[in-house]
Structure 1
Amino acid sequence: MAKKETSGIVVSNKMNKTIVVAVKKQIPHKKYGKIITKTNKYYAHDSFNECCIGDRVKIQEIRPLSKNKRWNLIELITKK
């Protein structure tokens, strides 16, 4: 089974070795068909505390590390 990968923008880095990544996706409304932007926030493991707010990152799904943390930082795409 392949692990899911996605990219998003870091919205918080206040926790130790953890970042919060906002991932936006565009989906059509079920009834009206209008394109809507949905945002999901994921807690990701940042082992070296290298990310800052506004950075674009790529994350990958992993086994649960804590109550909310189920993603791992793969790479820092762009630095703010």
Structure 2
Amino acid sequence: MPKRILQGVVVSDKQDKTVVVKVERRFTHPLLKKTVRRTKNYHAHDESNKYKTGDEVRIEESKPISKLKTWIVVDTATAS
């Protein structure tokens, strides 16, 4: 089974080797037929502490690293 890759914005880099990434998903509401935005925060592993607040990054699913961290920062997201 392939690992999921998500794209989001770093909202916190205060912890050592950890960043908090806010990921937004959009979907159409089944009854109202309007586009709805939902956000979720993920704790991701950042080994070199190089990503700062405001950076747009891609994170990849991995085996559990700690109680909250099951994602690893892959690289910065490219504007495409």
TM-score, normalising length: structure 2 = 0.92
Taking the aligned partners of 2:30 and 2:38, their CA distance within structure 1 comes to: 13
List gaps (5 residues or longer) in structure 2: none
1:12-69 Cα offsets, whole Å, 9 max, x none, are 0000000000011111123211101110110000000001100000100001111110
What is the identity, as a one-letter code, of the residue corresponding to 1:18?
Answer: T
Taking the aligned partners of 2:72 and 2:31, their CA distance within structure 1 comes to: 35
- How many residues align? The count is 78
Aligned-residue Cα RMSD (Å) equals 1.0
Higher strand share: 1
Residue 54 of structure 2 is aligned to residue 67 of structure 1: no
List gaps (5 residues or longer) in structure 1: none
Q: Percent identity?
A: 40
Taking the aligned partners of 2:27 and 2:40, their CA distance within structure 1 comes to: 13
